Amino acid sequence: MSGYRLASGGLIDRSRPLSFTFDGKRYQGFAGDSLASALLANGVELYGRSFKYHRPRGLFSAGVEEPNALVTLRSGARSEPNCKAPVVELFEGLEARSQNRWPSLGLDVMAVNGLAGPLLSAGFYYKTFMGPTRKAWMLYEHFIRKAAGMGAGTLLADPDRYEDMNAFADVLIAGAGPAGLMAALAAAGSGARVILADEQAEMGGSLLGSGLPVGEVGGEVGGDAWCRSALAVLAALPNVTLLPRTTVYGYYDDNAFGAVERVADHLAAPPEGAPRQRHWTIRAQRLVIAAGAIERPLVFADNDRPGVMLADAARVYIERYGVAPGRRVALFANHDGAYRTLHALAAADVPVVAVIDPRRSIGTAARAAAEAAGAELLTGHVVTRALGGRRLTGIELAAYDPDAGVKGPAARTLAVDCLAVSGGWTPTIHLASQASGPARWDDTLAAFLPGEPAQPWIAAGACNGEMATAACLAAGARAGAEAARACGFSPSPVSIPAVTEQLVCDGILPLWDARLPKGGGKAFVDLQHDVTASDVSLAHREGFRSVEHLKRYTTLGMATDQGKTSNMAGLALMAHERGLTIPEVGTTRFRPPYTPVSLGALAGQARGAHFRPLRRTPLHDWHVAEGADMMEVGLWQRPRVYRREGESVEQAYIREARQVRESVGIVDVSTLGKIDVQGPDAAEFLNRVYSNGFLKLPEGKARYGLMLREDGFLWDDGTTWRLGEHRFLMTTTTANAAPVLAQLEFLLAAVWPELKVAVTSVTEQWAAMAVSGPRTRDVLAAVLDDIDMTNAAFPFMGVRAGHLDGIPVIVARLSFSGELAYEVYCGAHSGEAVWRKILAAGRDHDIVAYGLEALGTLRIEKGHVAGPELDGRTTAEDLGLAAMTSRKKDYIGSAMLDREGLTEPKRLKLVGFVSRDGQPVRSGSHLVSADDSESPPRSLGHVTSSTYSPALEKYIALGLLEDGRERIGQELIASYPLKGHRVEVEVVSSHFFDPEGSRMHV
Amino acid sequence: MLIPCPHCGPRDVSEFTYGGDATKERPDPGSTSAAEWCDYVFARENPRGPHLEYWHHTQGCRLWLKVRRNTATHTIESAEVVGPWAGAEERRRDKGQDVA
């Protein structure tokens, strides 16, 4: 196709030249050009190589349906693959590169795939490389992926910003062609809130650049001018939002819509402060679908030669962009509408060699158009083959009989450099299809139309089979008014302009296959995925006959264009193979998105630090100021260790833990879930929720409790404090804070509504710190104003309210570390003050702040369970906590506690391990027998938590082991084959340190 | 999907947490066979069509709702509050007073 810029015409601004590069070569276009129109104007013929066969490909369409001219835009971090050249707006300095070619577009060594064509048919990869084992595929996959493919994305971080927007409207209109514009005028006049979205930069759809006379007879203006005045009216209305460059891509429940606005895709980089794209979530009472239609190609041999182009695209390049698509053009079409392109070609003085039409008779206006263009009219003929290699040089014709089909041999050869093809129009039913019953078949258009609405939408215009511009305008006006009425508005009638239009998609003769019988060459159905007509036959022969199987076996319609130009021909060919009609074969349902949506737009602002919420404890700033290594625990940031200069993490936690055992330490436990439980039935409620008794818990006392799931497994643990007769403070593990609250709310609503109890999360209201170690009492006694800290007055598990240097606190004598220990709770805002006062009071006792690592070390030394042991697969009995599952009452989980599987004696049981060879034991290691007779050895269990124990001066671990308690004293191997790690361990009791608990009762 | 929360009004599904089959009632632990417990804890129908289910307005009023939803079309026929607050909104509207 040797395109060139016409001397005049088009909507481009010839006073604003823009320079750009394609594969490094510099070209010039004008403002208003698309990348495709600018390349076409420069005579560029070759745009890319095809997906599988690496065949040379040219420009095929003028819209989002483009299967061939895919390019990579920009470079570096803004590099973006698979951009469709016809919808890329030209900007100064635009950089584009062709794809899927090596070493260059002109010389592509992978084109040998084309010679091996017969081997690369549908299912080729499955048959050849999968083989009986996965091994073959593993070997070949790398090379196949390299040879077959699209553009490559960048691995650099996206430098641009993306926004989210929520919008509400009465009427959303998708598409601003003649139907959409009229719908907007009709709906907006009633006062309804209207959003009009269109994927193009300029609204107007098929009217853009069109000289079609629109308006009162005698006062007609060009279609383009009419659409500008309509847009001016809409832009002035306060209840109308115009969203150009915005694709409504998805239809979701309750009339929610996803749309992407390409705010700055048409610029080299977004202006300061502007996002690259904006994602809109729109809720509208009614959707008017005015999405138009997409022209479909025809199937004949080598129909992918650069120079074969959709007929209406050829017209658009002339009328909208002022570019001729070739110097010797032929038209191959099966309906009158395509003859409109002849008017445009004639007006641009482009020679039209011939018009080839399979029909015997055609409309008068069509015949007149062919004559006016000076073209030879060959009715009853088809193009059977395109000639040429990297460019179209000619076409072969044969006679055609509607009943008998193509009659060989080829009758004639014509020299052309551009073939405009049209096989009819496929209504864009994608959005409707996402919210409707099965699509309806329409014989007069030989196309599917929207099915029965399952949600409140109204289709208008070409997407609903109304192909004439006049019909689109009338349908739009009707749909807009109906939508507004449905939202409670009273639209007044709008005048519908008359249109003088003679050539519409009338009198179509369905033509799905124009190949010569037994003719060679590849006849493509899906240009982007390189699926040919013979692939469809092959799928049929091999039994992949349903449309769903056809699609997946041949990958028909599964490329980035989702089969916008190819689906119909594929269905028709399969219907022919099966001897059925197309509606009998049916079509696949369209899913969102209509066109590809960038991940950036979907992610919006939720990236980097904003990916998910960050939770900081009231003491966060202190930890950071002290140089703590902070780590993520769920959403929380928690201090891991407070390393001193030159210390490793291990050295730091060992020092911290040792200091707690020797003197005193303080740790931030604010992340624990805290739930305020109040009401006259609070004790009864807790007694039903926990597996151990809570009815008799006295005021001023805390109790450690276990929560089970209904299926009898252990779920959560924590202490609950009785603050008053009807008031408790429950603590949960950090991870389960939210699920436990939700479960308590559920029980109070759905299971025991008779209980008078209220539960409220107070996790963030309290700062919490645990002070542990033999000197703790001295430290706290020095700062607490009014709490008697003596062992007699404040016994183990006691809870006291009082003041710490004037600040209200609750102190509970609990110990996770096994030392004399207290938890101090205060209002979140006083957290840091209380923390600092305790540190100050502890200075003489060499108090140490310790982090999560030391917290873990201390609890592992004591054999206390935590998250790694409460893994959802363990029971209280497994963890040695059977005494806490009451046999005297009913509670959540009690009914299923004695199931066979849960009482099975072989279950994995919690035990301790001591490393025998001075090596650390890795968590996640499997425990295997020390004798190596079995290979691979059977796993007897696994290590859950491990640490270096400063108290024992050994590496120790907790784990779950088959027959665990019976194996105490045995030697096993803790094996971690992925890291080649093997440690000899001895099975011991999980209570490594101070098993009598004497230290915490002093 | 919008869930018509009786307390908050129609709200997006992202504010809610699914709570499972609401036709299941927790049996009395004192007088229930193992098989019945097993049915309550594990057995769930997977109906296509109307389904009564629990939803928790986690990011809203935190009430638990019983929602009658068509699993095939996502149409919601009804949503009512479960537990002590059931009917509170209606009572308030009827009496024109705050029931809290």
pLDDT one-digit tens code per residue, B29-56: 877 788 899 999 999 999 999 999 999 9
* Nearest CA distance, A864 vs chain B (angstrom): 29
pLDDT tens by residue, A970-994: 999 999 999 999 999 999 999 999 9
Q: Taking residues A866-888, what's their average pLDDT?
A: 95
Six-digit token string for A979: 């890291």
Q: What CATH number should be reported for the domain whose range is A163-293+427-486?
A: 3.50.50.60
Please check whether residue A36 is in contact with residue A93, taking contact to mean a CB–CB distance below 8 angstroms. no
Quick check: A746 and B56 CB within 8 A?
yes
**A658 sits in which H/E element:** helix A649-662
Residue A311 has pLDDT above 50, yes or no: yes
At position A524, the amino acid (one-letter code) is: F
Find, in chain A, the residue whose alpha carbon is nearest to that of B17. Answer: A742
Q: Which amino acid is at B78?
A: S
How far is C-alpha A157 from the chain's CA centre?
17
Whether residues A890 and B30 touch (CB distance < 8 A) is answered with yes
Of A991, A758, A724, give the one whose Cα is nearest residue A880. Answer: A991
Instruction: Determine the pLDDT at residue A101.
Output: 74
Quick one: average pLDDT of A598-619?
94
Cβ neighbours, 10 Å, residue A59 = 31
- Whole-angstrom Cα distance, residue A158 to residue A138? 31
Between β-strands B64-70 and B50-56, what pairing exists: parallel, antiparallel or unpaired?
antiparallel
For CATH 2.40.30.110, list the domain ranges present in chain A: 900-1001
Q: What is the mean pLDDT of residues A112-135?
A: 63
Question: Could you report the per-residue pLDDT of A48-104, keeping only the tens digit for each?
Answer: 988 888 899 999 999 999 999 999 999 999 999 999 999 999 999 999 999 877 667
> Which of 894-923 (A) contact B at CB < 8 A?
894-896, 899
Tell me the C-alpha distance between A448 and A465, whole Å. Answer: 9
d(CA A841, CA A824): 14
Q: What is the mean pLDDT of chain B?
A: 90
A922 secondary structure, DSSP code: P
Whole-number pLDDT of residue B99: 47
Contact between residue A58 and residue A305 where contact means Cβ atoms under 8 Å apart: yes
**C-alpha torsion A824→A827→A828→A831, nearest 10:** -50
Where is pLDDT greater, at A344 or A119? Answer: A344
CA atoms of A841 and A390, how far apart (whole Å):
85
The answer to whether residue A850 scores a pLDDT higher than 70 is: yes
Q: Provide the 3-class DSSP secondary structure of residue A662.
A: helix
Per mean pLDDT, which range of A144-153, A431-440, A491-500, A528-537 is the poorest?
A144-153
Do B42 and A711 lie within an 8 Å CB cutoff?
yes
DSSP A97-139: EE-S-SB-SSSBGGGHHHHTGGGGSTTHHIIIII-SSSHHHHH
Where in chain A do CATH 3.50.50.60 domains reside? 163-293+427-486
Query: Do the Cβ atoms of A710 and B41 come within 8 Å?
Result: yes
Tokens at A768, concatenated: 């919490």
Res. A160: pLDDT tops 50:
yes
E strand segments, A313-375: 323-324, 329-333, 352-357
Region B10-25: mean pLDDT is 95
Q: Which residue has the tokens 């129609």?
A: B10
Q: Please report the sign of the dihedral spanned by the C-alpha atoms of residue A815, residue A817, residue A822, residue A827.
A: negative
| Distances A28 to A17, A366, A461 between C-alpha atoms, Å | 7, 36, 37
Q: Does B62 touch chain A (CB under 8 A)?
A: yes
Instruction: Compute the average pLDDT of residues A924-940.
Output: 87
Omega prior to B27 cis, within 30 of 0: no
Q: Which amino acid is at A307?
A: G
Beta carbons of A567 and A587 less than 8 angstroms apart: yes
A711 touches chain B (CB under 8 A): yes
Instruction: Collapse the DSSP code of A621 into the 3-class scheme (helix H, G, I; strand E, B; otherwise coil) and give the result.
Output: helix
* Cis check: omega of the bond before A103, within 30 degrees of 0: yes
Q: pLDDT tens for residues A270-288?
A: 999 999 999 999 999 999 9
CB-nearest partner of B1 from A253, A454, A745: A253
Strands (E), A568-635: 615-616, 629-633
CATH, domain A508-585, list 1.10.340.70, 1.10.10.350, 3.40.190.10, 1.10.10.1100: 1.10.10.1100
Of A236, A319, A248, A317, nearest in space to A288 by CA: A248
Instruction: Indicate yes or no: CB of A745 within 8 angstroms of CB of B17.
Output: no
Neighbours of A274 (CB within 10 A): 14
Q: Where are the alpha helices (DSSP H) in A46-197?
A: 112-115, 124-125, 135-147, 178-188
d(C-alpha A563, C-alpha A428), whole Å: 12
Top pLDDT among A50 and A30 is at A30
Across the interface, of B17, B34, B85, the residue whose CB is closest to A742 is B17
Report how far residue A243's alpha carbon sits from residue A262's, in angstroms, rounded to the nearest whole number.
Answer: 10
Q: What is the ipTM of this complex?
A: 0.95
Q: Count helices and strands (H / E) in chain A.
A: 24, 52
Over residues A737-761, mean pLDDT: 97
Beta strands in A189-313 (DSSP E): 194-197, 213-214, 221-222, 240-243, 246-252, 256-261, 277-289, 293-295, 308-310
Does the A900-1001 domain belong in CATH 2.40.30.110?
Answer: yes
Model pLDDT, residue B100: 45
| Of A109-113, A333-337, A930-934, B56-60, the least confident | A109-113
User: Whole-model pTM?
Assistant: 0.90
Collect all residues of chain A within an 8 Å Cβ-Cβ radius of residue B38: 896
Kindly report whether the peptide bond that precedes residue A593 is cis, defined as omega within 30 degrees of 0: yes
Considering chain B, what percentage of its residues have pLDDT values greater than 90?
A: 74
Give the Cα separation of A87 and A38 in Å (integer): 12
A303 has pLDDT over 90: yes
- For residue A116, what pLDDT is reported? 61
Closest Cα to residue A868, out of A960, A952, A964? Answer: A960
Mean pLDDT of A835-864: 97
Put simply, whether A742 touches B (Cβ < 8 Å) is: yes
Tokens encoding A13: 């601004």
Select the residue of A256, A894, A896 nearest B41 (Cβ to Cβ).
A896
Task: Tell me how far apart the alpha carbons of residues A228 and A232 are, in angstroms, rounded to a whole number.
Answer: 6
Per-residue model confidence (pLDDT) at position B92:
74
Q: What is d(CA A736, CA A421) in angstroms, rounded to the nearest whole number?
A: 63
The percent of chain A in helix, strand and coil, each rounded to the nearest 5, is 25, 30, 45
Question: Would you state the pLDDT for residue A124?
Answer: 66
Tokens of A838: 């305790």
- Partners of A748 on chain B (C-beta within 8 Å) are 83-84
Task: Write the DSSP symbol of residue A570.
Answer: H
> Rounded to whole angstroms, how far apart are CA atoms A846 and A660?
10
**Residue in A102, A36, A107, A91 with CA at minimum distance from that of residue A69:** A36
Which letter, b or e, does each residue of A172-185 get, where b requires 16 or more Cβ atoms within 10 Å of its Cβ? bbbbbbbbbbbbbb
At residue A814, does pLDDT exceed 70? yes
Q: pLDDT: is A128 or A925 the higher one? A: A925
* A838-871 as b/e: b if 16+ CB within 10 A: bbebbeebebbbbbbbbbbbbbbbbbbbbebbbe
- Residue A705 to residue A883: CA distance in whole angstroms: 11
Residue B29 touches partner A, C-beta closer than 8 Å: yes
Distance between CA B60 and CA A372 in Å, rounded? 69
Helices A533-541 and A567-578, axial angle in degrees (round to 10):
40
pLDDT at position A105 is: 74
Count Cβ neighbours within 10 Å for each residue of A506-515 and write b for 16 or more, e otherwise: bebbbbbbbb
Bridge partner residues of A912 (DSSP): A958, A988
Q: Quote the pLDDT of residue A131.
A: 58
Closest by CA position to A522, among listed A118, A123, A124, A149: A118
Q: How confident is the model at residue A506 (pLDDT cuts 50, 70, 90)?
A: confident
pLDDT at B34: 86
The mean pLDDT value of chain A amounts to: 94
pLDDT band at residue A372 using 50, 70 and 90 as cut-offs: very high
Asked if residue A409 has pLDDT above 90, the reply is no
Residues of A in contact with B44 (CB under 8 A): none
Give the residue ranges of DSSP H helices in A747-894: 776-783, 831-842, 852-862
**C-alpha–C-alpha distance, residues A719 and A112, integer Å:** 72
The H or E element spanning position A746 is helix A737-746
pLDDT attached to residue A257: 98
CATH H-level, domain A673-761: superfamily: Aminomethyltransferase beta-barrel domains (3.30.70.1400)
Strand partners for A636 = A615, A633
Q: Would you call B31 an interface residue with chain A, using a CB distance cutoff of 8 Å?
A: no
Beta-carbon separation of A753 and B82 below 8 A: yes
Structure tokens at A958: 């907790």
Question: Closest Cα partner for A393 from A331, A307, A332, A311?
Answer: A307
Q: Among 3.30.2270.10, 3.30.310.50, 3.50.50.60, 3.30.70.1020, what is the CATH number of B2-95?
A: 3.30.2270.10
The residue with tokens 């694709």 is: A247
Between A810 and A133, the more confident residue is A810
Check whether B98 has a pLDDT greater than 60: no
Residue matched to tokens 């209200």? A808
Closest CA to A852 of A675, A599, A636, A685: A636
Count of CB atoms situated within 10 Å of the CB of A903: 12
* Residue A100: per-residue pLDDT: 77
Burial (CB < 10 A; 0-12, 13-18, 19+), residue A959, is: buried
pLDDT at residue A215, as a whole number: 83
The neighbour count for residue A955, using CB atoms within 10 Å, is 22
The token pair that represents A336 in the structure block: 């009158």
What gap in Å lies between CA A508 and CA A466, rounded to an integer? 14
